[in-house]
A and B are shown apart, each in its own frame.
Chain A
């Protein structure tokens, strides 16, 4: 286990370095990416631009620029090209909203995903299964931006009622009830897609597992249908769901719910990322990307550990 963790940590550092390098590389080559030109404005003289470029260190060799930026990021000194705000500080400010969104939505989508998938599998072939499967397909197909706007219109802006606050984030520490109110629509919006997807994956996993020989053995032992379903079928079927959940959860935690955060004006990490993209602002993008990538690599290691726990045939190497 110790050897496994050490290997994985080294691997993670390499992955993060590679990610940051690629982000930097892409930024330099995209048209309109040159920050000096953007900062100098439309009527800048070449001398102005050269001056700004020197100040930002953009006249140094490419690799040095990249390392300088990483150094600034990890000493929390990196600032935006556009408005000089501190990148780490901005990400920290976004954490409460992003974490609130992620944990709430995660609980909902995992819980309902398992419920939907299990119900559909148990009722396989019957009308309730077909209805659930159709709904799941609709859920997967709904664009998040559209669903978010529609729900906002219907339930926050008076289409049906004004039951929920119209966007914005209320910190949990400030008012837990209002926090809950402000989060319900975003949670639901984000969860719908995942519920549909998890439900379908789980349904087919369960139907595959039910035909396994060991399920027949469990039946031959005289276990009840419920015991067989929970202890033998569901546990084996949930193993692939663990991977999905680990990576999806990490992606939302890492600021990946850009659309949901933007539609509901939750000023989280995803919202911050969206603004950085719109402004072609490299330092925040670098910060957000590395922040998100960290969650992905950490959670993929956690998923591997969970796998070894759930399936004893798997060895951590």
Chain B
């Protein structure tokens, strides 16, 4: 069995705001082994970015309250001091952000920003740090890294900036790479390249990846396990196979239905999930997805727990609906009912 790098147990993140307490993450549990890719999927406001930032210790602040455990190689990252956390950031856990346009400092050269990351954790002199930076830029596929290392971010294209961000995140060879919507701000053609790059580098650097996205299609190729989050909680969790071929939550169906697909009959319109995600201050009673769920019934007023309800053992969900009923009806959402009607 591969080395277990990360174990998150019943993580809760709350922020005190003027309007009330925001329950950004409410009871998140997962494990991550070396060499694996975990996908976290959900809409905006589902708590996936807060989860990523919390793993990095970036949500710490006077208004934030944490519960549960984030065990990295046995150390609870929620309990160590800011100063100790600094040694984990970049060094053990690397992070790539959504918008490579704004995530790089516009007034420093690309190379200097990567060298800075290296020197934050390792005692290396300028020359060898620079040599390693050139090597990193080559590994992420930047052509002519010897000359591009002295470019400023505005001289790079969006895709190249994201490659540079990846090089920076991997510079100290972290065990876990956290990618928070790394492809959202990029062109579709570049998206595939970046996903492929992350997948390849994961093997080269022998690390694990947490890949956060709102687009299930993006992680269809690389994820080993997928967590679907809604309103700060996990609503479904399982292997990629479970989520794509036997999805149990109507919310997951909605996400799957909103991906344009070439391998199925073309629906008249892509599926949209009606309504808006709930406010994390005033959550609905019972199942949090109930107000938007087309199949909601009276039992949904009680909150379903996250548990295994199907044959596949690791496949968990929070839905009261009968499994057979769901298997019969989910294709209406996923492939678009109108196509069948026509």
Taking CB atoms, residues of chain A closer than 8 Å to B107 are 235-236, 310-313
Structural contact, A224 and B89, CB atoms closer than 8 A: no
Structural contact, B106 and A220, CB atoms closer than 8 A: no
Taking CB atoms, residues of chain A closer than 8 Å to B116 are 218, 221, 223, 231
Structural contact, B106 and A312, CB atoms closer than 8 A: yes
Structural contact, A214 and B106, CB atoms closer than 8 A: yes
Kindly provide the distance from the CB of B136 to the nearest chain A CB, expressed in whole angstroms: 13
Number of chain A residues whose Cβ lies closer than 8 Å to a Cβ of chain B: 22
CB of B244 within 8 A of chain A?
Answer: no
CB of B309 within 8 A of chain A?
Answer: no
Kindly provide the distance from the CB of A210 to the nearest chain B CB, expressed in whole angstroms: 12
CB of B152 within 8 A of chain A?
Answer: yes
A236 to B172, CA, bound (A): 26
Tell me which of B90, B91, B104 has the highest count of chain A C-beta atoms within 10 A of its own C-beta: B90
Taking CB atoms, residues of chain A closer than 8 Å to B105 are 214, 217-218, 232, 236
CB-CB nearest in chain A for B165? A217
Kindly provide the distance from the CB of A205 to the nearest chain B CB, expressed in whole angstroms: 14
Structural contact, A220 and B58, CB atoms closer than 8 A: yes
Given A213-B103, A221-B116, A312 and B154 contact (CB-CB distance below 8 Å): yes
CB-CB nearest in chain B for A219? B58
Structural contact, A222 and B120, CB atoms closer than 8 A: yes
- Residues 79-123 of B, flagged 1 when their CB comes within 8 A of A and 0 if not, give 000100011111100110101001111110000000011001100
A221 to B104, CA, bound (A): 12
Taking CB atoms, residues of chain A closer than 8 Å to B256 are none
Which residue of the partner chain, among B82, B104, B121, B152, contacts A217 with CB atoms under 8 Å? B104
Structural contact, B99 and A213, CB atoms closer than 8 A: yes
A293 to B117, CA, bound (A): 46
Structural contact, B99 and A222, CB atoms closer than 8 A: no
Taking CB atoms, residues of chain A closer than 8 Å to B102 are 212-214
A313 to B105, CA, bound (A): 11
CB of A216 within 8 A of chain B?
Answer: yes
- Residues 222-236 of A, flagged 1 when their CB comes within 8 A of B and 0 if not, give 111101000110011
CB of B287 within 8 A of chain A?
Answer: no
Taking CB atoms, residues of chain A closer than 8 Å to B95 are 220
A224 to B154, CA, bound (A): 26
Structural contact, A222 and B86, CB atoms closer than 8 A: yes
A177 to B77, CA, bound (A): 58
CB-CB nearest in chain A for B121? A222
Structural contact, B120 and A223, CB atoms closer than 8 A: yes
Taking CB atoms, residues of chain B closer than 8 Å to A310 are 107
Taking CB atoms, residues of chain B closer than 8 Å to A214 are 102-106
Q: Which of B148-206 contact A (CB under 8 A)?
A: 152, 154, 165, 168-169, 172
Structural contact, A313 and B106, CB atoms closer than 8 A: yes
- Residues 292-317 of A, flagged 1 when their CB comes within 8 A of B and 0 if not, give 00000000000000000011110000
Kindly provide the distance from the CB of B168 to the nearest chain A CB, expressed in whole angstroms: 7
A269 to B154, CA, bound (A): 45
CB-CB nearest in chain A for B91? A222
Given A213-B102, A310-B107, A221 and B154 contact (CB-CB distance below 8 Å): no
Kindly provide the distance from the CB of B122 to the nearest chain A CB, expressed in whole angstroms: 11
Taking CB atoms, residues of chain A closer than 8 Å to B134 are none
A220 to B168, CA, bound (A): 10
A212 to B106, CA, bound (A): 11
- Residues 79-122 of A, flagged 1 when their CB comes within 8 A of B and 0 if not, give 00000000000000000000000000000000000000000000
Structural contact, B154 and A222, CB atoms closer than 8 A: no
Kindly provide the distance from the CB of A174 to the nearest chain B CB, expressed in whole angstroms: 45
CB-CB nearest in chain A for B117? A221
Taking CB atoms, residues of chain A closer than 8 Å to B90 are 220-223
CB-CB nearest in chain B for A218? B105
Structural contact, A221 and B89, CB atoms closer than 8 A: yes
CB-CB nearest in chain B for A224? B86
Given A222-B120, A311-B107, A217 and B97 contact (CB-CB distance below 8 Å): yes
Taking CB atoms, residues of chain A closer than 8 Å to B169 are 220
Structural contact, B58 and A216, CB atoms closer than 8 A: yes
Kindly provide the distance from the CB of A14 to the nearest chain B CB, expressed in whole angstroms: 32
Taking CB atoms, residues of chain B closer than 8 Å to A219 are 58, 89
A231 to B108, CA, bound (A): 10
Taking CB atoms, residues of chain A closer than 8 Å to B168 are 217, 221
Structural contact, A311 and B88, CB atoms closer than 8 A: no
Tell me which of A212, A219, A221, A232 has the highest count of chain B C-beta atoms within 10 A of its own C-beta: A221
Kindly provide the distance from the CB of B117 to the nearest chain A CB, expressed in whole angstroms: 4
Kindly provide the distance from the CB of A233 to the nearest chain B CB, expressed in whole angstroms: 10
Given A221-B117, A221-B120, A222-B117, A311 and B106 contact (CB-CB distance below 8 Å): yes
A223 to B99, CA, bound (A): 20
Tell me which of A212, A218, A227 has the highest count of chain B C-beta atoms within 10 A of its own C-beta: A218
CB-CB nearest in chain A for B112? A231
Kindly provide the distance from the CB of A243 to the nearest chain B CB, expressed in whole angstroms: 16
Q: Which of B273-326 contact A (CB under 8 A)?
A: none
Structural contact, A222 and B103, CB atoms closer than 8 A: no
Taking CB atoms, residues of chain B closer than 8 Å to A213 are 97, 99, 102-103
Sample 24 A-B pairs with CB under 8 A, ordered by A number.
Answer: A213-B99, A214-B102, A214-B104, A216-B97, A217-B103, A217-B105, A217-B168, A218-B116, A219-B89, A220-B58, A220-B89, A221-B117, A222-B90, A222-B117, A222-B121, A222-B172, A225-B82, A227-B120, A231-B116, A232-B105, A236-B105, A310-B107, A311-B107, A312-B106
Given contacts A221-B90, A311-B107, 8 further A-B contacts (CB under 8 A): A213-B102, A216-B97, A218-B116, A220-B89, A221-B168, A222-B120, A235-B107, A312-B106
**3 closest residue pairs by CB, A with B:** A222-B90, A222-B89, A213-B102
